[in-house]
Structure 1
C-alpha cells in the first residue's frame, strides 16, 4: 500500500517535470518524463493525454492516436482524450475520423466555444472533401493539366519589372534576379512560373524512380534535407555552400514545401536551378510532395493565393514525377523517409516502382516516403501512423544485400540538424533550422567528397525572415492547433 502511494506521488513529480519540459518546447524530453510517470502509474488518463500532446508537437500522429485512445479507455468521460485524438487524425488528413472525435468533445462540453468552433471547421472540411470526391473524374479519364497549358500565349505586361526568361533557356542571370525579387517579396510573372514548372516536369518525367548519381574523384556533392518553405534559410545554405552548379551539385531530399510560408519561392528556385543545369541539382520526393499534405499544411493555399488554381493542379502533377530515391557512386542510398516492412528489397525493385501517382498508404513507395529509424532491432509500428519504424539490423541487411555503405534520409527534425544512428550506417539530415519558428533546432547539410564519400556534416542556425508566420496559408482548421 505504501509503495503504491509512493509510486503515485513519484509519478506526479515526473508529470510536473514533463510539463516544464513541454513548456520549454523540449518535447522529446517531455515524452520520456511522461513515460516514466506512466510506468509508475498506468491508470492516469492525464499522463497519456499529455504524452499524446507532446507527440502531436513532434508530428508523431500515430503515437498520439495510441496515447489518446489509451486515455479514453482509462476514462471514457475525459474530453481531452478525444480532443487530442481528433487533432492527430487531422494531422494525417483523416478528416472523417477527426470529425467523430470532435463530435464527442462537443457532446461532452456543449458550452465550450472552442469545441464548437473546431467542430464547425471539421464539418466544413468533411463537406468539402465529399464534394471534391463527388466531382472528381475517374483516374482513367483524367487529362494532364500540363498538356493544356501554353505559356507562350501569356502576355507579360509592360509594367512588369521582375525577372524575365528570354527565349527557352533559364540562365544563371535570370535565377539570380528571381532570387533577389523573391527575397524582396516580389512575385514572378505567371508566364515564367509556368515555363519553369513545365520544363522541370519534362525533365523529371524522363528520370527513373531511382536515380544514379556519379561524383568524379576529387569532386564533391551536397545533400540537403527538408527545407519546408523556409526560403531565407535555403538562401543561407547557398550563402554557406555556394549556388548549385555542375561544379557544386546538390540533392534536395524531399519536403521542399508546406509549413513554412515561402514554399512557392523555394520550389520555383529549386526548379529554376534544375532547368538551368539538370546536373547541378537533383530533387527527391518527400511525403509532403502530395495533394493530401499540401491541402492541409499550406502549400495549396499559398499557391492559390500567390498564383492560381491551375498551378495547384500543375504542381500536384509535377510532384508525381519526382524520383523516389538516389544512389551516389553505388555506395550511398539517399531517400526521404526510410526502409521497408520486408527484407530482400533490391535497388532494381525501387527502380521499377511506377511512381506517377499520389503516394499510396502502404507498400514500397509509401515506406520510402514515410518510414523512420528506431533504436531497437527489428521493425515496429510507425510513430507517425503511416509507414513503419525499422532497426539497425534492417539497415545493415539492406546495405549488405545491395552492396551499399550508408543510408542518408531526412523527414525528422533533429536538434543539431542531423543524427547518426544504426552503428554509423544511417544519417538523418534536416535543413530547416528553428523549424516552424518554434523548435529551436539547427539545420544541416552533408558534403561528400569522392572517392571516399566520407560524410562531412555542416550545421547552421536560422536566419531572420519577413514577418509572415509559418502555416499562414494552412488549412484553417489545422491552424487552430498550431
Structure 2
C-alpha cells in the first residue's frame, strides 16, 4: 500500500514537471515526463489526456488519438479525453469522427460554452463536407481549370504600381521587385500571378515523379526543408545564402504553404524563381501541398483573401504536378516525409508512381509524403496517424538496395533546425524557425558540394514579420484550438 502511495505521489511530481515543460513549449520533454508519470500510475486519465495535448502541439495526431482513447478507457466519464480526441480528429480532417467526440463532450458537459462552440463549428464543417460531396463533379468528367484561364486577356489598371512581367519571360528584375512588394505587404496583380502559376504548371507537368539532379564537381547545391508560409524567413534564407540561380541552385523539399500566414507570397516567389531559372529552383511535394490540408491549415483561406476562388482550384491542380522525390548525383535521395512499409522498393518504383492526383491514404506516394524515422529498428505505427515510422535498418536496406549514400527529408520541426539519425544515414532539415511563432526552434538548410557531397548544415534564427498571426486564414474551428 505504501509503495502504491509512493508511486502515486511520484507520478504527480512528474505530472507537475511535465505541465511546466508544456507551458514553456518544451512539448517533447513534456511527453517524456507524462510517460514517466504513466509508468508509475497508469490508472490516471489526466496523464493520458495531457500527453495527448502535447502530441497535438507537435502535430502527432495519431499518438494524440491513441492517448485520448486510453484516457477514455481509464475513465469513461472524463470529458477531456473526448475533447482531445475530437481536436486530433479535426486536425486530421476527420470531421465526422470529431463530431461524435464533441457530441459526447456536450452530453457530459451541457453547460460548457466552449464545448458548445466547438460542436457548432464541427457541425458546420460536416454540413459543408456533405454539400461539397453532393455537388462534386466526378474526377473523370473534370476539365482542368488551368485550361480555361487566359491571363493575356486580363487588363492591368493604369494605377497599378507593382511588379510587372513584360511579355512571357519572368526576369530577375521582376522577381526582385515582386519580393520587395511582398515584403511591404503589397499584392501582385492577378494577371501576373496567373502567368507565374500557369507557367510553373507546364514545367512541373513535364517532370518525372523522381527528378535526377546533376551537381558538377566544384559546384554546390542547397536543400531547404519546410517553409510553411514564413515569407520573411524565406527572404532571410536568400539573404544568407544568395538568390536562386544556375550557379546557386536550391531544392525546397515540400510544405511551402499552410500555418504561416504569408503562404501566397512564399509560393509565388518560389514559382517565379522556377519560371525565371528552371535549373536554379527545384520543388518537391509535401503533405501540405494537398486540398485536404489546405482547407484546414490556412492556405485555401489565404488564397481566397489575397487572390480569388479560381486560384484555389488552380493551386490544387499545380500541387498535383509537383515531383515526389529528388536524387543528387545518383547518391543522395531527398523526399519530404520518408520511407516505406515494405522492403525492396526501388528507385524505378518511385519513378513509376502516377502522382497527378490528391495524395492517397496508403501506398508509396502516401508514405513518401507522410512517414517519419523512429529510433527503434523495424517499423511502427505513425505518430501522425498517416504513413508509418521506420527504423535505421529500414533506411540502411533502402540505401543498399538502390546504391545510395544518404536520405534527406523534412516534415518535422527540430530544435536546431535539423537532426541526424540512423547512424548518420538520414538527415531531417526544417527551414521554418520559431515555427508558428511559438516553437522557439532554429531553421536550417544543407549545402552539398560535389564531388564529395558532404552535408554542410547552416542554421539560422527567426526574423521579425508583420503582425499577422500564424493560422490567421485557417478554418475557424482550428483557430479555436490554436
Q: TM-score, normalised by structure 1?
A: 1.00
CA distance in 2, matches of 1:98, 1:20: 28
Deviations 1:329-368 (A, max 9, x none): 0000000000000000000000000000000000000000
Q: Which residue of 2 aligns with 1:266?
A: 266
Q: Which residue of 1 aligns with 2:466?
A: 466
Q: Which residue of 2 aligns with 1:103?
A: 103
SS at match of 2:19: helix
1:32 aligns with 2:32: yes
Q: Shift of the alpha carbon at 1:2? A: 1.5
Q: Shift of the alpha carbon at 1:3? A: 1.2
Q: Which residue of 2 aligns with 1:192?
A: 192
Q: Which residue of 1 aligns with 2:369?
A: 369
Q: Shift of the alpha carbon at 1:370? A: 0.1
Deviations 1:10-43 (A, max 9, x none): 1111000000000000000000000000001011
Mapping for residues 66-77 of structure 1, pairs under 5 Å = 66-77=66-77
Q: Which runs of 4+ in 1 moved over 6 A?
A: none
Q: Which residue of 1 aligns with 2:475?
A: 475
CA distance in 2, matches of 1:216, 1:291: 37
Deviations 1:139-162 (A, max 9, x none): 110110000000000000000000
Mapping for residues 20-419 of structure 1, pairs under 5 Å = 20-419=20-419
CA distance in 2, matches of 1:238, 1:175: 13
SS at match of 2:278: coil
CA distance in 2, matches of 1:179, 1:24: 35
SS at match of 1:211: strand
CA distance in 1, matches of 2:477, 2:225: 28
CA distance in 2, matches of 1:327, 1:88: 34
SS at match of 1:326: strand
CA distance in 1, matches of 2:469, 2:10: 40
CA RMSD in angstroms comes to 0.3
SS at match of 1:317: helix
CA distance in 1, matches of 2:46, 2:466: 39
CA distance in 1, matches of 2:3, 2:102: 39
Uncovered stretches (5+) of structure 1, i.e. residues with no partner: none
Q: Shift of the alpha carbon at 1:203? A: 0.1
Q: Shift of the alpha carbon at 1:4? A: 1.2
CA distance in 1, matches of 2:456, 2:370: 25
Q: Shift of the alpha carbon at 1:290? A: 0.1
CA distance in 2, matches of 1:177, 1:57: 37
SS at match of 1:196: helix
CA distance in 1, matches of 2:267, 2:307: 13
SS at match of 1:480: helix
Q: Which residue of 1 aligns with 2:18?
A: 18
CA distance in 1, matches of 2:370, 2:89: 16
SS at match of 2:279: coil
How many residue pairs align between the two structures? 482
Q: TM-score, normalised by structure 2?
A: 1.00
1:450 aligns with 2:450: yes
SS at match of 2:222: strand
